[in-house]
Amino acid sequence: MTAMRIIRTKDYDAMSAAAARLIAAQITLKPNCVLGLATGSSPVGAYQNLIAWNKAGELDFSQVRSVNLDEYAGLTPDHDQSYAYFMRHNLFDHVNIDQKNTNVPSGVNGDEECERYDKLIADFGGIDLQLLGLGVNGHIGFNEPDDHFSLGTHKVTLTESTREANKRFFTSIDEVPTHAYTMGVRDILQARRVVMVASGANKAQAIKDAFFGPVTPQVPASILQYHPDFILVADEEALSLI
């Protein structure tokens, strides 16, 4: 029996508004909360809602702390395809968050970054709300299909399907990094609440496999079936196979 809740929305904009309301509620209830944040296309609309509410004086980020899921190996924070850059551009530069309280794994710190990042999350007392997107292959963060579930932050080899899916942001596939640093599945599962956003027909099979099939490391998101407070916010197209 899963504790999963599904918020079904008409389209991407409605999904974004619904997810933003959950995040805003978290910030309102606990102003110094720890948000786990994601990059990619799925959360951008939610971030736009949060920015609008912040600018309207309805939402205060001044005490919020954040930890992002992942970063490409080899990219510095000023690289325009790095996830650190993405977060500044899509959220942090537009709200009153203290940038010192924002954290993205370093892509250039070597393997010691993994231990440093897990300690940082632990020192924060864990994550209050983790926002996730869903890979077309069922990945969460950059935890790719595998024969076991990962634990803490680690370096991964990106699958060809993930590099292919992400090449739209680069000039050619050759420029898409081959490796990344990502929080592990255990880190994600330890978040007190997990909210996933998914939109569009290309996520429909992954949603079916992850949440209406067996729990297996071949579909990393499927482990969320065991999370006690997991909310899937998805639009009609993404839910079209279930």
Minimum Å distance from CB 17 to ligand F6R? 17
- Taking CB atoms within 8 Å and a gap of at least 24, the contacts of 22-28 are 22/129, 22/195, 22/231, 22/233, 23/50, 23/129, 23/131, 23/195, 24/49, 24/50, 24/53, 24/58, 24/59, 26/128, 26/129, 26/193, 27/59, 27/60, 27/61, 27/64, 28/59
- Applying the rule CB under 6 A, the residues between 141 and 180 that interact with ligand F6R are 141-142
- According to DSSP, residue 131 is labeled E
Residue 135 in the binding site for ligand F6R (CB under 6 A): yes
| Closest chain position to ligand F6R (CB) | 133
**Rounded CA separation 79/84 (Å):** 8
User: Token pair of 29, please?
Assistant: 């209830």
Query: Is 166 among the catalytic positions?
Result: no
Minimum Å distance from CB 1 to ligand F6R? 27
Residue 36 in the binding site for ligand F6R (CB under 6 A): no
Our CB check for ligand F6R shows the closer of 61 and 83 to be 83
Minimum Å distance from CB 86 to ligand F6R? 8
CA-based nearest residue to 101, from 70, 83, 123, 71: 123
- Applying the rule CB under 6 A, the residues between 60 and 79 that interact with ligand F6R are 69-70
Residue 139 in the binding site for ligand F6R (CB under 6 A): yes
Query: Is 113 among the catalytic positions?
Result: no
Per-residue b or e along 145-172, where b marks 16 or more CB atoms closer than 10 Å to that residue's CB: beeebbebbbbbebbeebbebbeeeeee
Our CB check for ligand F6R shows the closer of 38 and 67 to be 38
Our CB check for ligand F6R shows the closer of 121 and 140 to be 140
Q: Binding ligand F6R by CB under 6 A: which of 9, 12, 33, 40?
A: 40
Minimum Å distance from CB 34 to ligand F6R? 16
User: Segment near ligand F6R (CB under 6 A), from 32-40, 109-117, 121-129, 223-231?
Assistant: 32-40
Question: What order do you get walking across the sheet with 193-198 strand by strand?
Answer: 5-9, 230-235, 193-198, 129-132, 34-37, 65-68, 102-103
Residue identified by tokens 């935890």 is 143
Query: Is 144 among the catalytic positions?
Result: yes
The active-site residue, picked from 54, 70, 71, 209, is 70
Q: Binding ligand F6R by CB under 6 A: which of 42, 49, 66, 82?
A: 42
The Cβ of residue 36 has, within 10 Å, a number of other Cβ atoms equal to: 26
Residue 41 in the binding site for ligand F6R (CB under 6 A): yes
Which stretches of the chain bind ligand F6R, using CB under 6 A?
A: 38-42, 69-70, 133-135, 139-142
Residues forming the active site: 70, 137, 139, 144
